[in-house]
Structure formats: C-alpha cells, structure tokens
Amino acid sequence: MELREYLAIRRAYNLVRQDMPADRRLTFVELAILCRMDVLGRPMNTSEIAEYQGALRPTMTHRTKHLSELGFMVRSKGSSDRRNVICEISDEGREFVEQTCRLICDILHAGNILSRTTALRVARYVDAMGSLTCMSGDLVLLGILQSETSSRTVSDLVNVLGLLQPTVSMSVAALEGEGLVMRLRQDEGAARSVDIVLTEAGETRAADIADEIRALVIRRKS
C-alpha cells in the first residue's frame, strides 16, 4: 500500500465519521474489525481478532462488546473455551460497512487518489489497514512527512488528515513533548505562521510507520 493511499482513506473516514450520530461513531480499528469479518466471510473468535490487530484480549473484548451493543456483531461463547468468544458480523453490520465504504468512496472520488475505487475495494483496504495501529499523533507525523515543504501548519494538518482542529492541536503538543516535532514561528504576531516540522527523531518514527504501511497487502477478491 502506498502512503498517500493510506492517508487518503484515513482522511476520508475521519470526515465521514464526523457526520455520524455520536452514539454510532466507530473508531477506525472498530470499522476495520467489521471489514475484516465481511471480507473473510466467516466468524472469528476474539483471540483471532486480537492477533489481527496486535491487541490484548481485554482490549478486543471491549471493542467487540461495543460493536455488539450497536447491533453490528453477534457474540457467542466458544464450545471448547468459554473465555474465547465467537464473533460474527450481523446483517446490520454488513449494511454499515457497505454504506460507510460508499461514503468514503464519495470523498475519494472527489480527489485524485483512488478516484476509481469501489466500496468493496475500500473494505479490503480498511481490512489491511486495520492490522496497523495508527493513532492521531502518528497521522500527524505522516502528514508532515508527506509534505513537499517538510512542514505543515495546524490548519494544513486539519485539511490533510480530516481531523478536528482540537485533535490536531493536542497531538502536536504531545508530539512536541516527546521531541518528535517542533514549532517554527515565522511571525511572532501571527499564530497562523507557525510551521510544524519533524525533528530527527520524528523523521525516524514517521519513516518507520511509512515502511509498515508500504508492507500492508490488500486482499484480492477470491
């Protein structure tokens, strides 16, 4: 997968998510679980889903319970190991995946990246992307890495990533505290003139994440 493809889909979903009712919003990793089961076409147990996302079983239990409460998934106890819950996407979950991927497509089709992709193809992209945990701070690093000028303003990052301004600002502050980015103020009297650039450590972190993204493989239709 190319970095620009990854960022385009994440941006599109971030924008789609903002228009969802608050009680129906899924995180990207939760959407990826539904896409995974939809693409595979079979139930999965919590251990298998946890391995897919590199998460601990308690974390996966929380995610699958949330999806079950929304009606997107059916959970049942395993026959041999009662602790290992069997999860199956529901009809409502499939409808949610199809509708969400179509909305993502609408945004992608308005740009130059993946402008001819389909909802089914987007579901396969999200399935592959779900195996890599990439938080808002990681997206900020990638957004700066992808910049032609090696810098971004907060407004730039909001537009490039589809995140809300408070989320970007908090992520930048956290990254600055970790020594991964720094602010370059061009005009002391104008907040908009503050550029965010990667430090050497930030460049290394961003490059490592980008390499993991390029290693992702999108499933082909059987």
Residue-wise pLDDT for 14-41, tens only, equals 999 999 999 999 999 999 999 999 999 9
Q: Which among 192, 215, 205, 213 has a CA at the least distance from the CA of 141?
A: 205
Three-state SS annotation for 80-149: CCCCCEEEEECHHHHHHHHHHHHHHHHHHCCCCCCCCCCHHHHHHHHHHHCCCCCCHHHHHHHHHHCCCC
Return phi, psi of residue 28, to 5°: -65, -40
> Which residues 6+ apart lie within 8 Å of 91 measured at CB?
none
Confidence of residue 192 (pLDDT cuts 50, 70, 90): low
Looking at residue 57, its pLDDT comes to 85
Burial classification of residue 52, based on how many CB atoms lie within 10 Å of its CB (0-12 exposed, 13-18 middle, 19 or more buried): middle
Mean of pLDDT over the chain: 92
Q: pTM for this one?
A: 0.91
- Each residue's pLDDT tens digit, 49-95: 999 999 998 899 999 999 999 999 999 986 555 567 899 999 999 99
Confidence of residue 110 (pLDDT cuts 50, 70, 90): confident
Higher-confidence residue of 77 and 213: namely: 213
Provide the percentage of residues in the chain whose pLDDT is more than 90.
82
Residue pair 98/13 in contact (Cβ under 8 Å)? The answer is no
Ramachandran region, residue 20 (left: φ > 0; alpha: ψ -120 to 50; beta: rest): beta
Listing DSSP states for 197-219 in one string gives: EE-HHHHHHHHHHHHHHHT--PP
Secondary structure of residue 79 in the 3-state scheme: coil
**Residue ranges per structural domain of the chain:** 3-129, 136-214
Rounded Cα distance, 81 and 97, in Å: 29
Confidence of residue 107 (pLDDT cuts 50, 70, 90): very high
Return phi, psi of residue 5, to 5°: -70, -45
Domain at 3-129: CATH code: 1.10.10.10
Least confident of 40-44, 112-116, 123-127: 112-116
As given in the structure block, the two tokens for residue 128 are: 């592959």
Say how many residues make up the chain.
222
The angle formed by the CA atoms of residues 201, 205 and 209, to the nearest 5 degrees, is 170
3.40.50.720, 1.10.3720.10, 1.20.1560.10, 1.10.10.10: CATH of 136-214:
1.10.10.10
136-214 has the same fold as 3-129: yes
Q: Does the pLDDT of residue 48 top 90, yes or no? A: yes
Looking at residue 77, its pLDDT comes to 80
Looking at residue 186, its pLDDT comes to 72
Least confident of 67-71, 112-116, 159-163: 112-116
Secondary structure of residue 194 in the 3-state scheme: strand
